[in-house]
Amino acid sequence: MSILEHRKAIDRIDRQLVRLLNERVRHAREIGALKKQHGEEIYAPHRERAVLERICRLNPGPLPEENLRAIYREITSVRAQIESLKGRQQYLERMTAMATINLEIRPKEAPRAVVTKAKWNPLVTLTKALRGFVEVMQVLAESKTNLHKEHFGACLGANPTPGIGKNFEHLRYSDELPKGNRNDFAGRCF
């Protein structure tokens, strides 16, 4: 074999080693999870010794047994570190979840108008104002005419409006009036 062929073979073996090492770590993790569910210790020194003895028996060489043991101790150590980091990560995630407050801020909905605003129409407003003004003027004109008749009727002793005269006569002789000349007070009323 040439150097190039040996290098290609080593590359192929390295790919297999990486794949197999990752597969081994996955199985070790699953075993750790199952042990945790059952409340067992994750690290078992007797199991590590048994694995190392079995590996050494499988070794045909040329790798010395001591080097093979060192490689497997490193693999086991890395797996333990991964498990430790994973456990620490889960612990921190639980602590963070307990210390985290989720706050959601939503904009407040604008209140809806109960009365809708109508468009201002100056012509309609002016018409309503003029109607109101005319009605007020009519009431004042009618009131002034009636007051004028009542005033003179009461002063002359006539009674053009029967209700007003009777009320006036009642006031003229009432005890509720102030003391003094009751006729003068009644005359001042009208």
Please choose, from the candidates 148, 181, 183, 179, the residue with its C-alpha nearest in 3D space to the C-alpha of residue 168.
183
Q: Domain range spanning residue 11?
A: 3-98
Return per-residue pLDDT of the chain as tens, 190 residues: 899 999 999 999 999 999 998 898 888 888 888 888 888 887 778 888 898 899 899 989 898 989 988 988 888 887 777 777 776 777 788 887 777 777 788 888 877 767 666 677 888 888 999 998 889 888 887 776 655 555 544 444 444 445 444 444 544 444 544 455 444 444 444 4
Phi, psi values for residue 116, rounded to 5°: -80, 140
Domain co-membership, 77 together with 153: no
Domain co-membership, 141 together with 94: no
Question: What's this model's pTM, rounded to 2 decimal places?
Answer: 0.40
Dihedral of the alpha carbons of 129, 130, 131, 136, in degrees to the nearest 10: 90
Q: Is 48 contained in some domain? A: yes
Q: Which of 47, 76, 98 corresponds to the end of one domain?
A: 98
Residue 186: how many other CB atoms lie within 10 Å: 18
Q: Is 18 contained in some domain? A: yes
CATH for 78? 1.20.59.10
